[in-house]
Structure 1
Amino acid sequence: MKKLIPYGLLSLCLFLFQMVYHHFSHGVVSFSLQYAWLLMAVAGLIWWLIGRIFSHKQLRISANLYHSGLACLITWCLLNGVLEIAGSDSPYLWLYLLFGGGFILASLVTLGIKQKNIV
């Protein structure tokens, strides 16, 4: 249960941020900014379920990779949303998706490798 509280607080902060940002954006809405909080909430629930399945010793490197990937994905959501509302774009945003997905995939792979070595 202790793992769900930080994710819930971060989700709430992201929700409030997008509400305030959309309030001052003169009616322009960004899908990625609007649902960044939902990504954080679902990721927290998934990590909580993973933590219930695997032991605490197995989760250290996987947790670091997972949270780094999640940070990359949330940063992409925020930057993409702000740039969409501003009517701009950046050619480097895809790197956030690439590294975020890579870190999360590496997290799941290391979790599987550690599980295989222990059993």
Structure 2
Amino acid sequence: MFQKLSQKLKMAGLSALIGLGTLMALPAGAQADNLYFGFGIGSGSGDHVGREIGRSHRAERNRHQYRSCSARQAVRKAERFGMRRARVVDVNRRTIRVAGRIDRGRSQMVFARARGCPVLRW
């Protein structure tokens, strides 16, 4: 009877030791993420918590604003292709038609309304 009781106490002590060891290891990893030490001006990691560095609100607005091709972007792209006096002649849901002059005479370009203004026809 004494043998069974000592065996149960050993098992209970061993399981308590394993459980305490596990509990002691868990908070150490969680606390290491929130603990910052900084000395001097501009310390390493804790300065810019919660905001993105290097990106302004204006750049963010412009990035979302030009998801599709606008008439102005199509005219600028036509001018980069060498079209002089480029102007928008037709805009619909899917395409933008730009007319102007090139070396051979009058010409038209058709751009898709997708991002980057892909050229459909020239």
Q: Which interval holds the TM-score relative to the shorter structure?
A: under 0.3
Higher strand content, 1 or 2: 2
TM-score, reference length from structure 2: 0.24
Question: Which structure has the greater CA radius of gyration?
Answer: 2
TM-score with structure 1 length normalisation? 0.24
Question: When you count helix as a share of all residues, which structure comes out higher?
Answer: 1
